[in-house]
């Protein structure tokens, strides 16, 4: 016999419901807070109840944001815990035709989910992988912020110095950033003069730039027409954004080192990085999201986990299949998408497959999505078989 204990998690307090195997509630709903006193009292109470009913304890938690981590860390020291995605709970709760939703009802729903079928076997004991996943996700957030900052930087630069990006195609090189930090306007450049400007450029580029570049920038400064509108605010923002971009780059460099440090410790047990087109960094990203391949009995489960399975809408006798539902891991989708970008050029399986989709008239993004699914199957195969990538015999040249 089992005691099925459902815990609905929120930020500062958690609702608890206990059901027996017949679905009958044992006692009243309980409240649990993020304190040692409250948790110890809860653990003592469920121990007394389990002994009274001669029943084993099984506990289910809702994975709400980060708020379940502390609870899981402590309770899992003594009990096995099943972690449920809020979407799973929502789908299961639809059997309640009344459509009610409260924290108490959610706790009861989780307890009922424990009663029916097999609970999801999610392993959160690998703290190293969880640390890696957190680093990867934060890295992508910072990278996204940097991308947005660079877009606004280019916009402001065009107001302050139209045509600057015609001289420096990449305005974020070390030399360009040094010029813009000291002399961001055409007037500043003209006041500095060709000789001083060239010295500045030589020093910043470590003698990797010729005098013609300085002359080109002087000529552009003489002929351009800067905006007289939003000049002061644009200049002010430019300097702030330069600092922000530089700081973000320092932090992403630091994150990369931490990501590689963890990956170096575990990569010998994995084979994702042996697949042509998947770099060590992307392999670390993919493993951080997927985790133990044994959790996936079929590659289609990873496709669904990545949110690459299609949207399906049914109405009467009509079925409409749309694009990817994007309900899974956005980090995994991102890593796979960029891995395909490289794989379509060098991977002996993905390259012809991607070309075939394009030749069939598929949209570029549709072809990339299809190639991502194909790549997932390769990843699943090498990890499941614990063998490096090998070119299929039918694709090997004779």
Q: Which of 290, 296, 381, 387 is nearest to 333 (CA)?
A: 290
Quote the mean pLDDT of the chain. 89
Cα–Cα distance for residue pair 311/325, rounded to 1 Å: 5
pTM above 0.85, yes or no: no
Give the tokens for residue 186. Answer: 């055409």
Cα–Cα distance for residue pair 325/333, rounded to 1 Å: 11
* HSE toward the beta carbon, residue 342, CA cutoff 13 A: 13
Report the share of the chain in percent with pLDDT over 90. Answer: 66
Asked if the model's pLDDT at residue 321 lies above 70, the reply is no
For residue 57, report the phi and psi dihedrals to the nearest 5 degrees.
Answer: -100, 135
pLDDT digits (tens, 9 = 90+) for 220-252: 999 999 988 888 999 999 999 999 999 999 999
The pLDDT assigned to 176 comes to 95
Asked if the model's pLDDT at residue 282 lies above 90, the reply is yes
pLDDT digits (tens, 9 = 90+) for 60-93: 888 878 888 888 888 888 888 888 877 677 777 6
Q: Which CATH superfamily is domain 2-125 in?
A: ATPase, nucleotide binding domain (3.30.420.40)
Cα–Cα distance for residue pair 122/130, rounded to 1 Å: 12
Stretch(es) of the chain classified as CATH 1.10.287? 131-258
In the predicted model, what is the mean pLDDT of residues 299-321?
Answer: 75
Confidence of residue 314 (pLDDT cuts 50, 70, 90): low
Q: Which of 335, 384, 381 is nearest to 392 (CA)?
A: 381
Cα–Cα distance for residue pair 197/202, rounded to 1 Å: 9
Asked if the model's pLDDT at residue 322 lies above 70, the reply is no
- Return the CATH fold of 131-258: Helix Hairpins (1.10.287)
| Helix, strand, coil in percent for the chain, rounding step 5 | 60, 10, 30
* HSE toward the beta carbon, residue 159, CA cutoff 13 A: 15
8 strand-pairing partners: 15
Asked if the model's pLDDT at residue 97 lies above 50, the reply is no
Cα–Cα distance for residue pair 136/367, rounded to 1 Å: 26
In the predicted model, what is the mean pLDDT of residues 294-322?
Answer: 77
pLDDT digits (tens, 9 = 90+) for 153-200: 999 999 999 999 999 999 999 999 999 999 999 999 999 999 999 999
Asked if the model's pLDDT at residue 318 lies above 70, the reply is no
Cα–Cα distance for residue pair 89/100, rounded to 1 Å: 13
Largest CA distance in the chain: 90
Asked if the model's pLDDT at residue 115 lies above 90, the reply is no
Stretch(es) of the chain classified as CATH 3.30.420.40? 2-125
In the predicted model, what is the mean pLDDT of residues 345-367?
Answer: 94
Report the share of the chain in percent with pLDDT over 70. Answer: 91
Contact 21, 126 (CB under 8 A): no
């Amino acid at each position: 016999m089992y005691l099925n204990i459902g815990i609905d998690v929120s930020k500062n307090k958690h609702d608890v419901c206990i059901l027996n195997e017949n679905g009958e509630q044992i006692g009243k709903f309980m409240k649990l807070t993020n304190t040692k006193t409250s948790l110890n009292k809860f653990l003592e109470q469920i121990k007394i109840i389990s002994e009274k009913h001669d029943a084993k304890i099984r506990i289910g938690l809702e994975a709400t944001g980060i708020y379940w981590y502390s609870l899981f860390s402590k309770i899992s020291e003594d009990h096995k815990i099943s972690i449920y995605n809020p979407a799973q709970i929502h789908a299961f709760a639809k059997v309640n035709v009344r459509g009610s939703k409260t924290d108490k009802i959610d706790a009861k729903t989780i307890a009922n989910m424990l009663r029916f079928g097999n609970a999801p076997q999610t392993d959160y004991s690998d703290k190293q992988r969880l640390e890696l996943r957190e680093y990867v996700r934060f890295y992508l957030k910072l990278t996204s912020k940097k991308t947005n900052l660079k877009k606004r930087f280019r916009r402001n630069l065009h107001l302050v110095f139209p045509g600057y990006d015609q001289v420096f195609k990449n305005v974020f090189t070390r030399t360009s950033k040094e010029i813009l930090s000291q002399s961001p306007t055409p007037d500043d450049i003209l006041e500095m003069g060709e000789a001083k400007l060239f010295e500045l450029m030589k020093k910043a580029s470590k003698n990797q730039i010729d005098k013609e570049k300085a002359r080109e920038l002087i000529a552009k400064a003489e002929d351009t027409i800067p905006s007289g509108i939003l000049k002061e605010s644009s200049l002010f923002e430019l300097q702030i954004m330069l600092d922000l971009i530089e700081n973000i780059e320092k932090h992403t460099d630091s994150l990369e080192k931490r990501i590689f440090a963890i990956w170096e410790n575990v990569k010998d047990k994995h084979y994702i990085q042996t697949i042509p087109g998947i770099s060590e960094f992307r392999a670390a990203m993919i493993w951080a999201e997927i985790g133990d391949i044994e959790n996936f009995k079929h590659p289609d489960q990873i496709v669904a986990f990545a949110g690459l399975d299609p949207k399906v809408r049914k109405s009467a006798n009509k079925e409409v299949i749309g694009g990817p539902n994007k309900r899974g891991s956005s980090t995994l989708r991102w890593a796979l998408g960029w891995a395909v970008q490289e794989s379509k050029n060098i991977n002996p399986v993905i390259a012809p497959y991607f070309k075939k989709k394009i030749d069939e008239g598929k949209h570029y993004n549709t072809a990339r999505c299809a190639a991502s699914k194909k790549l997932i199957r390769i990843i699943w195969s090498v990890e499941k078989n614990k063998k490096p990538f090998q070119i299929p015999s039918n694709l090997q040249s004779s």
